[in-house]
């Protein structure tokens, strides 16, 4: 891994795509069959506002350091890095050998709405970022909660492993070996980048 993408200057716009390859076929009778053929991952397209050379140079240097699509790095998404819930406490995964689309957790502050549907979460032994698919509150007296997530767990989180719910870092790489920028007589630089989550 090769560092964390610079947070300044901030993106002027960001597109986030969920990519979930699925093979769908339909028989002559009209019966539909669907099969997931690969794991889900997120893609991002970021655009920057016009930048001075001093603002652009560190970003350009960081991108060059990635050697095209070779290296991986962390990307914290502006605006989306903090969820809509109010997580508090010291949350941990509760129990090992978990599979599927739910994760039992504990260590939350009691009786708190910790996540809203659409928030992101990450587990300590995972490169994958998951999306919360249903609002969830912690138990009124025990501080436990079961998180509904998408996609299904790639591997079971380790018992008592930490849960990242704020400034969730995506492990990504560039999607092309060719990067280009534009400038003109004004001395301002325009730039756009595409990223893909690495699993």
The model's confidence at residue 38, banded by pLDDT at 50, 70 and 90, is: confident
Q: What is the pLDDT of residues 47-90, one digit of tens each?
A: 999 999 999 999 999 999 999 999 999 999 998 888 999 999 99
Q: What is the pLDDT of residues 82-125, one digit of tens each?
A: 899 999 999 999 998 999 999 999 999 999 999 999 999 999 98
CA–CA distance, 149 with 147 (Å, rounded to integer) = 6
C-alpha 108: how far from chain center: 22
The model carries a pTM of: 0.90
Burial class of residue 189, CB neighbours in 10 A (0-12, 13-18, 19+): buried
């Amino acid at each position: 891994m090769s560092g964390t993408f610079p947070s300044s200057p901030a993106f002027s716009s960001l597109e986030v795509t969920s990519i979930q390859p699925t093979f769908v076929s339909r028989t002559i009778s009209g019966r539909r069959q669907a099969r997931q053929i690969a794991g889900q991952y997120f893609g991002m397209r970021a655009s920057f506002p016009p930048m001075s050379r001093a603002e652009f140079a560190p970003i350009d240097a960081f991108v060059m350091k990635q050697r095209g699509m070779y290296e991986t790095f962390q990307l914290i998404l502006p605006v989306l890095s903090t969820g809509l819930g109010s997580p508090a406490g010291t949350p941990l995964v509760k129990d090992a050998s978990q599979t599927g689309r739910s994760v039992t957790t504990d260590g939350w502050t009691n009786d708190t709405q910790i996540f809203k549907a659409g928030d992101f979460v990450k587990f300590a032994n995972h490169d994958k970022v998951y999306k919360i698919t249903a609002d969830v509150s912690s138990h009124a007296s025990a501080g436990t909660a079961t998180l509904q997530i998408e996609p299904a767990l790639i591997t079971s989180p380790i018992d008592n492993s930490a849960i990242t719910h704020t400034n969730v870092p995506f492990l990504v790489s560039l999607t092309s070996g060719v990067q280009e920028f534009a400038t003109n007589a004004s001395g301002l630089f325009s730039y756009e980048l595409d990223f893909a989550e690495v699993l």
